[in-house]
Structure formats: C-alpha cells, structure tokens
Structure 1
Amino acid sequence: MSRLIDHLRSHGDLIAVLTEHTSLTYRELADQVAGVAAELGDTRRLVLLETRNDLPALTGYLGALAGGHVVLPVPAGREHAAVLSTYDPDVVIDADGVHARRRGSAHRLHADLALLLSTSGTTGSPKLVRLSHTNLLANAAAIAEYLDIRQTDRAATTLPMSYCYGLSVVHSHLLRGAALILTDHSVVDDEFWTLFRRHRGTSFAGVPYTFEVLERIGFDGFDLPHLRYITQAGGRLSPERVRSFAALGQRKGWRLFVMYGATEATSRMAYLPPELAQAHPSSIGRPIPGGEFTIEPVDGWSDPDAGELVYRGPNVMMGYAHGPADLALGKTVETLRTGDVARRTADGLYEVIGRSSRFVKLYGLRIDLQRVESILSAAGVTAFCVDHDGKLVVAAVDATECADVQHLTATAAGLPPAAVRVVSVPELPLLPSGKPDYRTIRALAGHADEPAAAATDLRTLFADVLQIDGRTIRPDQSFVDLGGNSLSYVAMSVRLERALGGLPADWHRRPLAELQRTASPTRRSWPWLNATLETSVALRAAAIVLIVGSHATLYEMWGGAHLLLGIAGYNFARFCLTPVPRVQRMRHLRNTIGWIVVPSVIWIAIALVITDDYHWTNLLLAEKFFGPPHSMTAGRLWFVEVLVWILIALTLVCWLPAADRWERRRPFAFAAAFLVVGLALRYELLGLHFGHEAWFTVLAFWFFAVGWAAAKSSTVWQRIAVSAVLIVSLHGYFGSTSREMLVLSGFLLLIWLPAIRCPAWLTVVAGTVAEASLYTYLTHYQVYPLFDAHPLLGVVAAIVVGVLLTRLLNAARSRLRERAERAAMKASVPALR
C-alpha cells in the first residue's frame, strides 16, 4: 500500500486531477486513496469496480491497488451478471460507495496478481486477462517514455477505465506526475472542449471511431493552443486518416501517435513515431521500449517474409482466467502470439497484413477472409465474412443485389457461387469494443434467405432522391452526411414519411439505420389525418402558389417570396451548417449554390433568346446592382438574386476558421449576430448607401436571418426572442397590414410548429409542389401570360410546368446515375479475377 501512496505524495502540490468543478493535488489525491485503502481493510480481496471517468471511481481504483487487492473493473451501467456469478467478488465499489459482500475473501489470490480485465472485445465475458503489478508498471513506464509525458501534461479521459487503453492513460500520467482531466463527456460534446480548453489539455486518446467523429465536428478548425499530442489505438485507423491527421498535427503544432496493442500486453506493444506517420501510414511502427517482436511462419501463407507477429516483453500478461480457481495461478505465458500476420520492412518498421485466425478451409481451398473483405470493400460492398456450415457467409450492409455480392465474393475467394451465402444487414454487428461480432453473423446465417427488405428499400430511396450510388451509402450516414440539401429535402421527407409511417423532427440528421428502427406502420386514431407534413414543406408549397397566383392577378396575396427567403435561411441552418469538417461544409455550400445558379442561368439564357423579358445582367444574377434600373426583373428574379448572393457571402464568412469555430460552439449566438446585422440594414443604421434596387436586395437579408435563427433556436426562450424580434421588425415594413400578417403567420408556424398532421394525399401534393418550387419560380413568368384571359388556368399551368420540369430533370439524373453504377459494377468484376 505504501509504495503507491508514497509515489503519489512524492509529487506534492502538483495538480493530479481536474474535473468540471474541482482540482486535486497529488498530496490530496494520496490522502483520498489512503482513505479508500483503509476502508477496504488489510485482508487481500477481489474487488469489482464499476468505472466512470470521475473522482470516486479513480480513488476507488487506486485505493484498491494501494491496499494490495485485485481489481476487476467493469463499465458502469452495463450487465455484469456473468462476471458476478462466475467470480463472486468480495467487494463491490459503485457510485454509492464500497459494499463488502463478506468479511474476508472467498478466493486464493496469487501474490503478483493486481488487475483483471475483459479480453479485447468481450466486455462482460467470464474470460479475463490476469495482469501483475510488474505488467502495469512496465507498460506505463514504456508509454511514458515514448510519449515523453511531462509533469506539465494534462490528459483528458476520453476512454473508459474498464478498457485497457483508458487505464493506460491513467497509469502513464500518474507515473510521471502529470494531471488527468476527468470527464465522461464525449468529443462530440461542447462541454468536453470547454473543459479541455479551460484546463489547458495537452493530450487525449482515441479509437478509430473517435477520429471519424472529429472529422464530422470540424476538428481541423479547433483552436487548442496547449495540445501536444493525440494517441490512437483500439483498431486499425485507415492510412488516409493517418495521413490526414498527421498532416493536420504538423500544421497545428501537435503530434499523432498511432499505436498497436492488446489487453494481453497490458495495452501497448508498438507505436509509430509521429515523424513517420505520413510516409508509413499502414505501419504499426516499432516495439515499445523493453519489448520485441519476432515473425514466425504461418502455414499456407504465400509471402515468405510474412508470418505471425509474436511479442515478448515485461508487459505480457500472467495468463487468462476462466474461473476463480485461475486467480491463484502464477505466470503461465511468456510470449504473446498476436494472431496477426505481419512483415518487417527494410527500415525496421512492422506492418500487419492479415489475421492468421481469419483463414478458413472450404472446398479444399485455404481462404483469407480478411482479403475477401478488402476486395469487397474496394468494390463498394461493406461486409464481414465468416464460415458456417461449410459455406462462406457474407454479412453485407443493405445488399440491394445479393446475387451481385454473391458473385463478387465467389470470384474473390475462388469458390463456386453456391458456396457463398449473403446476409443483408442494416449495419454490421459489432462487439462493445467496436470489433466484428462474428458470432452474431453466424447466428444470422440461418436466416440468410430473409433479407432486410425494408432497410434495403430505405437505401434505395436515399440513392434515388439524392442521385448517388446506393452501394456507397452506409447505415451510419444521414441525409445531411450524404449531401442532402433544401432542394432534395422535400422529396425525401415526403417519401420517407410514406415509407416509415411518420418522421422524427430531426430525421435529416439521424443515421439511416436509426431511421429504419423508427419505422412504425401504426396510424393515428383519426384515419383521415394519417400522415405528417413538415411545416417548412407545407409553407414552401403555399408560398410558391401565392407567388404565382399574385403575379397572374388571380388574387393579391403578397409576401410569399419573403416567406420563401425565411425558409431558405431555415434550411441553410439545417443543411449547410451541420457538424461536419469545414472543407465538407464548403463543398456542401458550393453544391447548394450550384443547384440554384445553374438552372437559373440556363433558363435565363433560354428566355433571353425567346423573349424580351431579361437583360444580360440577369445572367450574372446581379441585375439589381448593374441595371438597367426599373426593369421587369424587379418583380421577377429578385428572390433568386437575393438568395444566391446571401449564400455566396455567407460561404465566404464560414470559410474563415474563426467564424467556423464560433458557429460550431455557439450556433444560436452566431445566427443571432447575423440577425442583428440584418436588422441594422433593415433600419438603415449602418450608414450604407446603395442604389434603390441594390438596397432592396441588401435589405431583404433580415428575413433570411430570421429563418436561420429560428432553426438554431433550441430553447423556448430563444424561440420567444426570435418571435418577438420578428413581430417588432415586421411592423410597418411593407406598409400593408394584410401582407405583414401573412408573412408573420408563416414565420410563426415555422418557429413553433415543426410538423402538421394531414391526409396522406395532401403530403404528396404539397411535397410535389414544394419540390418543384425553384423551377416553378423560374419559369412561371413565361407560362402564365399564355393564359392571360384565364388566370386560374395560368396558375395551374405554371405549377404543372414546374413539376414536369423537376420530374424530367430528376429522371435524367437517375438514368445517368444508373448507367454509372452499371459501368462501375462491370469494371469491378474483371478486377477481382
């Protein structure tokens, strides 16, 4: 007990722990650890610890180690029945404190045994890894050495302490007198980054999924002045991401350590020096200090320089435990056979190229399942492969064409197609560690002839509406992730509502797999209100009808275009300002602008040839700025001009790293700031002077800003504030009470009512009209005059033309996409032979 506590006390008043509300010096931490050790008593016992990344869990863990007890960490909030019944711990430490289950101990515990951890990927399994005090100290010292951990370092706990990787962060930093920033917040939470910056965090650890999330939240734009390094382990990070994050670290002044390890090695076996990451992104690097690798032959492997990677070092486990009797055993393992097939490169680095345990023998052939998975991935098929009942089973994500996947797999494996069974799944089954769950795939194989038709239909639906290759769509991607925008949103929402029987308000940001789980065929008690229509879609359809009817003099109900501008701001906030990397945001904004500009310019060019309605400046969508003054365009294309130039200006703003960071951290405040700018323009407070037509363009920005702020309002008080600003600012704006009330009503519905219940047929009609709103707006000026004596016919004809043009263009895009998919499929088959 005294050695660990004495070590903590030796660091004195250095900061040991930082949380959201407190900080502890090493001396204070030592006192708390000593208190837990005293409470546990002198009799050596087996202690089950429910871990959380908080101070009580940390002191409970260290107190048990300091008292000489054997610790079995498990994640809080999970089912531990198997471990409890198998090992019958003497003490349980949870959020409520220390609970002794008996006075003494029911176990014989080996003197060297310190820690029991679930094997990689089998959290909750009775099979445990036995680790000694020597294992823990040796691995912590090696990690601290190659990471150059200093007393000034402060590491955030991004991983659970029940996981060997998470514990290794604790061990290595406390060994060197560095500090831990204890938090259970995820890297997707603003609270995590606020805490990390406040405590001047210098490092954090991540598994491959962490880095995918970092890309989505725009990590490349974060300002982290004290960050020194990031570590990665827990699975293979793609070479592309290794290069990308290594290059980002080089630009930002921090280093990326890619690491390789296993629970059986007390966490780490190898690391890739940061300076080699870009040149060798596929490598696991070199052994950690004190460790060594050898490569031993693998039967049937064709590469003579490759073999099974075998590790030796003081951090190799004592052995496995399958039951309480094994806790009395000493060290039964000297080397660790990793099961990975690797080779040593000329520069002394090691590269893993396969798994020896992933070989199966079928039809007399020795088949490398990992290689088959890689070939399928290159062909656009996301899949895991296992052998089952003498066949090769492929669990493929939403396999729309099982026969194609079967043929590709058979070709890759050299098997007849009849030897391959394809199971279509909405997402690949994973263990809690994030590794493949092959047992579940074998269980699914018995139902392989019952493909997940509904999930397949959803992917087909996404591909059809977004005009993308359905094979590239993953179950973890959302409508926004796949490049959806306000123009495709309408068609998607209506068709999804029909497919799923109702949509959640944030469906556009939910992964496809999660959307599939929300499907409900049940209907409301009022059968005639059997569908949901999003308010923004309903308003968009109503606005375009109001615009066309007013222009055709069927009635006078002005304000539809201003309402459309507000909806555009609302959709800008939802689809363009999403938590994706800044580069991806810019691409999304560019595509959104292109979807508006390209058809507008094409139609204007056609109209210039066949009519006298437009001027050459309309081709630049800048007639308001360049004239001629008082042209017909004042009542025609002003909405498109305003929208395009607003989007261009905001794209330039969001391109700035500082603006991008501000928007991500405080989205409502960012939107509110632009609303303030819009109101300053509306009340002419900035002293700017433009011509009358140009001023009309600039002035209308505040409608867009109101919609933007409405979309980013996440609390009732924020929505009340936006509503109040809208009411005050609209008063007297048009000089027409009826027009102001119409616009006000539409905006208030947008702010307060996300969706309405209505008959199913109305969702189809409204969705069709709303989807065609851009093309209807562009063409209606040339259509309704053809029916000058019959304005109603003119309005109907203008809407029909817009709808038909939209359908025609969608069909053309679908045809081109299908042709490209067929070409890609044909090209992929010879490549596999």
Structure 2
Amino acid sequence: MIPTYDKVHNHFKLNNKSYNRDELKEVAYSFIKEGSPSEKALGDFLADWLDAKDYIKSKTSGTTGKPKIIKIKKQAMVYSAIATGNYFGLKPKDRALHCLPTQFIAGKMMLVRAIILGLQVDVIEPGTTLNFSSKKHYHFAAMIPMQVQQNLKKLTHIKTLIVGGAPMSSELIDQLQPLQTKVYATYGMTETITHIAIKKLNNFTNSESVSNTYYEVLPSIHISQDERECLVIEAPKLSKEKITTNDVVKLHSEKTFEWLGRFDNVINSGGIKFFPEQIEEKLKGKISNRFFIASEEDDKLGEKLILVLEAVKNDLSNTVFKDLDAYEKPKKIYTVSKFSETTSGKIQRLQTIAAINN
C-alpha cells in the first residue's frame, strides 16, 4: 500500500530521535527560529511539507529552460521516494546521511525518503568537507562531486552513495574503483523530483566498465528524443506532462541512454558539432584552474572554439591540448579572475563570457 504524504513512518528518526507529525512541526519551528542557516532551510522545508497544502514550491535549475518557480505535488515526491527505496533496497530503520543543502530538491528529497521510508537520518552541515562520525555506518547517502572528492576516505562508512548536481571527472571516477561503497551517478532535475535514471560507477562485473555502462531509468519512466535529439521524459507518477529537456542524449535501449551534452552549449564550427562538455572531460586533470569551453563568432567558421580560464593570466602550455583532436583545440584562450556562479555553485557561462566582452 502506497503511503500518503501526510504520514510520518513510525520508524523515522531525525538525528537519533523519533518524531510524530506534530512533534516534527515543533522541530521545524525550532530550526526556523534558532537554527543555523542550513538548519533554518531544513526547518522551512519541514514546515512546508507538514502544512495543509498538497504541494511545495521549488526553483528549477534550468535543465528544461529558464529557471522558474514550480509547484510539485507532495504525493509525487512520495512516489519518487518509494522508487528510490525500491531500486536500492532501502528498508525501515536503515541509516541515511543527509549532507546536502535543503534549499534544493536533492536535499528536500533526502528528508522525504527518510519520513516516508522510515529511515534514521543524520543531518549534518552541508559543506565541502563533511563532519560525520567514523563510528557510524550508513546504508544510503547523496552527495555532489566536490563532496565526494574531499571525503574519499570517509566513503567506506557508506554502503550506497548517489552523486548528482554536476558531471564527475574521469579522474574522480578512477579513484572510486577500489572502494567497496557502491557509487552511482544520477540524472534528474527539479521537474522530475530529483533522479529518474541511475548509472553505475564502480563495483563492476567482468563484462562491465564505466565506458559501456549507461544511465538506466527507474521503473515507470519512459524516454524518447525530440527533433534536436534531446531527452524527453514521461513519468506519469511524477508529472502529468511530458518533460522535454535540453540534454542531448544517445538512446541505447528503451531504458538506457548516454548523456552527450547540453543543446544550448552545442558549438557548430565549420559545419562540425562540438559538445563543450566532452572536450572539457578530455582536459580535466591537465588544467589546475577552473575552466570551460565556449565559442565566439568567426568569419570563416561561423563559430570558433575558445577556452575560458579562471586565472589572472594564461600560463597554459600547448602540451595541455595534446589529447584533443585537431578540430577540438581552442582557437583562443581568455582569462577572468572570477567566474560568475549560481547560488548552488554552478558556473554561469554566458554571464562569464559577457563580463569578458565588457
């Protein structure tokens, strides 16, 4: 029987304490009035989740267009929590680690999973370097790549880890291979109530590897492509409408796909299409500063590839580009002292380029 959003599982615990619905409202109020900024965000969400409305409001990240505020049905969030629980075999009383900002959908859903599935969740400060007890072992956690990178030695305390928010570098994926922790990349967005697809990153069988493992959609999710070859998602339990993304993908089956890059980042240079994300992947580990690939107008090519470097000056040698194909090499390098960023730390490419031009 599917629980309704107004129920709190009798095995749910928050920071080692059990709460019913009314007690949880008091906890939310306490966080809002007396908590740290991250605790206040947690309290705000709990108050929204426990109020009389059947929806919450959340800001989208821009995967399907310009960022906007949307209403998400609470019961749809319940379905999402159950789908994740079923996929990873989560059971009541399993221990979960919550280390993501609750302002964003991924952080909200960690709490919903705990409340609905009866998990015992420990909430810690959502920083880069995480402070959690080495004496505890967790069945489930979610992180962003930067947290994974900074806390590799602590991951042994986590059985299953999902990673989202940004692509992971091949260098970081290599560092995951010796771990017994099962690590998965996730694909999703606010509109799909976090992830709708999972990609295995380590603990491979003899026939598996990172290169031949693709995103696999969760049950009841259907995928296709539009005329741009962008991913189209049908998730009846999560959204009444089809969700058309700006992510260019290659479908490998009815249930699996490979992410190629953002349609709004695609560069057409001399009739050849380039995905900046794929070139950036080849350069990761070779450039210590933050950077990204973009384009500018060119009389002959239409667009030419450029590299934007977060640095005071350009001191890159040509050897950095030795693994790139001839057409992939940037025709020009620009430097900027500080990239423009979103509140969640994602680089704003267009704003950064605009600052260079100005």
Deviation at 1:158, TM superposition (A): 0.6
Q: Does 1:212 align with 2:212?
A: no
Q: Does 1:285 align with 2:215?
A: yes
Checking the alignment, whether the CA contact within 8 Å between 2:201 and 2:210 is kept in structure 1 is no
1:185 and 1:65 map into 2 onto residues whose CA distance is 20
Counterparts of 1:578-727 in structure 2, within 5 Å, are none
Counterparts of 1:9-408 in structure 2, within 5 Å, are 11=10, 14-18=11-15, 23-27=16-20, 30-33=21-24, 52-54=37-39, 58=42, 60-69=44-53, 114-120=55-61, 127-184=68-125, 186=127, 188-189=129-130, 192-194=131-133, 197=135, 200-215=137-152, 218-219=153-154, 224=157, 227-249=158-180, 254-272=181-199, 277=204, 279-282=208-211, 283-298=213-228, 307-314=229-236, 316-317=238-239, 334-345=241-252, 349-361=256-268, 366-374=273-281, 377=284, 383-388=291-296, 392=304, 393-398=306-311, 400=314
Q: Deviations over 1:310-353 (max 9, x none)?
A: 21103555xxxxxxxxxxxxx6xx22222222223379632212
Give the one of 310, 313, 327 matched to 1:412: 327
Q: Which amino acid aligns with 2:220?
A: G
Deviation at 1:376, TM superposition (A): 5.0
1:395 and 1:136 map into 2 onto residues whose CA distance is 39
1:52 and 1:136 map into 2 onto residues whose CA distance is 24
Q: Deviations over 1:538-595 (max 9, x none)?
A: xxxxxxxxxxxxxxxxxxxxxxxxxxxxxxxxxxxxxxxxxxxxxxxxxxxxxxxxxx
Deviation at 1:359, TM superposition (A): 1.7
Deviation at 1:115, TM superposition (A): 1.8
1:51 and 1:269 map into 2 onto residues whose CA distance is 32
Structure 1 residues 166, 400: closer, same or farther in 2, change over 3 A?
Answer: same
2:243 and 2:36 map into 1 onto residues whose CA distance is 27
Q: Which amino acid aligns with 1:386?
A: A
Checking the alignment, whether the CA contact within 8 Å between 2:308 and 2:336 is kept in structure 1 is yes
Structure 1 residues 351, 68: closer, same or farther in 2, change over 3 A?
Answer: same
1:363 and 1:16 map into 2 onto residues whose CA distance is 58
Give 1:424's aligned residue.
335
Q: Which amino acid aligns with 1:245?
A: L
Q: Which amino acid aligns with 1:342?
A: V
Counterparts of 1:736-775 in structure 2, within 5 Å, are none
Checking the alignment, whether the CA contact within 8 Å between 1:258 and 1:272 is kept in structure 2 is yes
Structure 1 residues 369, 241: closer, same or farther in 2, change over 3 A?
Answer: closer
Structure 1 residues 187, 426: closer, same or farther in 2, change over 3 A?
Answer: closer
Structure 1 residues 246, 135: closer, same or farther in 2, change over 3 A?
Answer: farther
1:118 and 1:405 map into 2 onto residues whose CA distance is 42
1:346 and 1:438 map into 2 onto residues whose CA distance is 32
Higher mean C-alpha deviation, range 162-171 or range 57-66: 57-66
Deviation at 1:439, TM superposition (A): 2.4
Unaligned runs of 5+ in 1: 39-49, 70-111, 299-306, 318-330, 448-833
Q: Secondary structure at 1:271's aligned position in 2?
A: strand
Deviation at 1:180, TM superposition (A): 1.5
Q: Secondary structure at 2:23's aligned position in 1?
A: helix
Checking the alignment, whether the CA contact within 8 Å between 2:28 and 2:43 is kept in structure 1 is no
Q: Deviations over 1:410-438 (max 9, x none)?
A: 95259xx8xx4421235655433343311
2:126 and 2:328 map into 1 onto residues whose CA distance is 44
Q: Which amino acid aligns with 1:143?
A: T
Deviation at 1:33, TM superposition (A): 3.8
Checking the alignment, whether the CA contact within 8 Å between 2:225 and 2:232 is kept in structure 1 is yes
Percent identity over paired residues: 17
Q: Deviations over 1:627-664 (max 9, x none)?
A: xxxxxxxxxxxxxxxxxxxxxxxxxxxxxxxxxxxxxx
Structure 1 residues 175, 284: closer, same or farther in 2, change over 3 A?
Answer: farther
Q: Which amino acid aligns with 1:289?
A: P
Checking the alignment, whether the CA contact within 8 Å between 1:205 and 1:231 is kept in structure 2 is yes
Q: Which amino acid aligns with 1:400?
A: N
Checking the alignment, whether the CA contact within 8 Å between 2:4 and 2:75 is kept in structure 1 is no
Checking the alignment, whether the CA contact within 8 Å between 1:372 and 1:412 is kept in structure 2 is no
RMSD: 4.0
Q: Secondary structure at 2:178's aligned position in 1?
A: helix
Structure 1 residues 423, 406: closer, same or farther in 2, change over 3 A?
Answer: farther
Structure 1 residues 445, 31: closer, same or farther in 2, change over 3 A?
Answer: same
Q: Which amino acid aligns with 1:171?
A: V
Give 1:761's aligned residue.
none
1:120 and 1:349 map into 2 onto residues whose CA distance is 23
Structure 1 residues 4, 166: closer, same or farther in 2, change over 3 A?
Answer: same
Counterparts of 1:518-597 in structure 2, within 5 Å, are none
Checking the alignment, whether the CA contact within 8 Å between 1:16 and 1:179 is kept in structure 2 is yes
Q: Secondary structure at 2:210's aligned position in 1?
A: coil
Checking the alignment, whether the CA contact within 8 Å between 1:402 and 1:424 is kept in structure 2 is no
1:374 and 1:58 map into 2 onto residues whose CA distance is 34
Counterparts of 1:504-515 in structure 2, within 5 Å, are none
Deviation at 1:395, TM superposition (A): 0.4
Q: Which amino acid aligns with 2:233?
A: Y
Count of aligned pairs between the two proteins: 339
Counterparts of 1:776-795 in structure 2, within 5 Å, are none
Checking the alignment, whether the CA contact within 8 Å between 1:115 and 1:132 is kept in structure 2 is yes
Unaligned runs of 5+ in 2: 30-34
Structure 1 residues 428, 62: closer, same or farther in 2, change over 3 A?
Answer: closer
Deviation at 1:135, TM superposition (A): 2.6
Checking the alignment, whether the CA contact within 8 Å between 1:395 and 1:428 is kept in structure 2 is no
2:97 and 2:342 map into 1 onto residues whose CA distance is 25
Q: Which amino acid aligns with 1:232?
A: V
Deviation at 1:126, TM superposition (A): 7.1
2:170 and 2:286 map into 1 onto residues whose CA distance is 18
Checking the alignment, whether the CA contact within 8 Å between 1:51 and 1:161 is kept in structure 2 is no
Q: Which amino acid aligns with 1:308?
A: C
Checking the alignment, whether the CA contact within 8 Å between 1:121 and 1:435 is kept in structure 2 is no
The structure in which a higher percent of residues are strand is: 2
Q: Which amino acid aligns with 2:346?
A: K
Structure 1 residues 257, 394: closer, same or farther in 2, change over 3 A?
Answer: closer
Deviation at 1:236, TM superposition (A): 1.6
Structure 1 residues 51, 129: closer, same or farther in 2, change over 3 A?
Answer: farther
Deviation at 1:145, TM superposition (A): 1.2
Give 2:347's aligned residue.
436
Q: TM-score with structure 2 length normalisation? A: 0.77
Counterparts of 1:445-460 in structure 2, within 5 Å, are 445-446=356-357
Q: Deviations over 1:672-703 (max 9, x none)?
A: xxxxxxxxxxxxxxxxxxxxxxxxxxxxxxxx
